[in-house]
Chain A
Amino acid sequence: MKVFSNSETFDYSWEEVSTANWRKYCPWNEKSTHVIAVDTLSRHVDAETGILRTERLITCKQSAPKWLASLMGGTDVSHVFETSYVDPESKKVTMVSQNLTWSNILSCQEKVVYQPLSATKTQFVQEAKVTALCGGWQKVKNAVEEATVCRFSENARLGKEGFETVLEMSRRVFSEEKLKQKKQTESVAL
């Protein structure tokens, strides 16, 4: 098993980050192009705790190294299952995900937490555990794990850059929307 961990700070409030997080993989994000679709499978608010629980299916298409792709059966489209929990009271977003494709040879478990550092700063902590399950030589398993962790760190860097653009665009659109609403109420008042 190999562990990949990463933490980032975003100069946006937790409310802004947790909202923009729902559209992290929209066309504004030109960096995370390996994510081609995000579908919501189920969603509900827990009556007791007020926690919003969401299940999503994330579809990726990416070029794995050739030797790894052939080991995986030649397909380049993969699916990830994600369960997320938003606790608005303690201001915490937790996202847990697991690969669905190739799960008989490789297990990738990722956990992401967004929590406020201050009123204008939000911390992102990511941890991924990669385990090659294929029987056989330890050397092969190590290489599979190594290549996956390498891709994780590459995607993490691009993910941060891409998400920054989404945050910036969200803030701009939000303030434009607010201005529009203000103008509308003003014209109604007149």
Chain B
Amino acid sequence: MSASLAPECNEVKERYDSCFLKWYSEKYLRGKGTTDECSALFKDYKHCLTSALKERGIDKMLEDAREDHKENDAANMRRGCEYVDIFSRLLLTSIEQNGTINLDSGIGTALGGFTRLKM
């Protein structure tokens, strides 16, 4: 498993990561886990990490980024968003056929429009 940016948190992180991975592969992906069973371990890890982030001043940077990421939730936290789904399928097909995105194709134009919308 990968390390923590704070070496003092490595041990609790390792314990949490192993628990999560087991839950993810054995329960969550099989439709059996609706809640994360590793929350107690996560609490320990988070406690250690939070003070490390504060010490390094990363907590402030994170606040701004979180704000920016809110719009991603709108697109990714719900199902049945057909527009996005059709779009990503078109993109996949286009990449499969051409090996790259052809900017002159319909999907290229759509991508341009999409990008502009998002900016």
Contacts and interface: CB of A to CB of B under 8 A. Distances in A.
Contact of B92 (A46, A51, A115): A115
Nearest to B68: A98
Given A40-B13, A46-B77, A103-B61, 15 more contacts: A15-B29, A26-B2, A37-B2, A40-B20, A41-B62, A52-B24, A55-B69, A57-B58, A81-B62, A83-B72, A87-B79, A88-B28, A89-B79, A101-B61, A125-B91
Contact of A100 (B62, B77, B95): B62
Interface of B: 1-6, 9, 13, 16-17, 20-21, 24-25, 28-29, 31, 33-36, 42, 45-46, 49, 53, 58, 61-62, 64-66, 68-69, 72-73, 76-79, 88, 91-92, 95-96, 100-101, 115
Interface string A127-167: 00100000000000000000000000000000000000000
Interface stretch (A16-24, A64-72, A182-190): A16-24
Given A43-B42, A90-B79, A113-B88, A19 B24 contact: yes
A5 B21 contact: no
A72 to B, nearest CB: 15
A79 B66 CA distance: 14
Interface of A: 1, 3, 5, 7, 15, 18-19, 22-23, 25-27, 35-41, 43-47, 49-53, 55, 57, 59, 79, 81, 83, 85-90, 94, 96, 98, 100-101, 103, 113, 115, 123, 125, 129, 174
Contact of A25 (B2, B29, B31, B65): B2
B103 to A, nearest CB: 9
Contact of B5 (A59, A81, A123): A59
Given A57-B62, A79-B61, A123-B92, A49 B29 contact: no
B69 A88 contact: no
Given A7-B95, A23-B21, A85 B76 contact: yes
Given A98-B69, A100-B58, A19 B42 contact: no
Contacts of B100: 5
A37 B52 CA distance: 13
Contacts of B1: 23, 26
Given A18-B29, A22-B20, A113-B88, A94 B76 contact: yes
A85 B29 contact: no
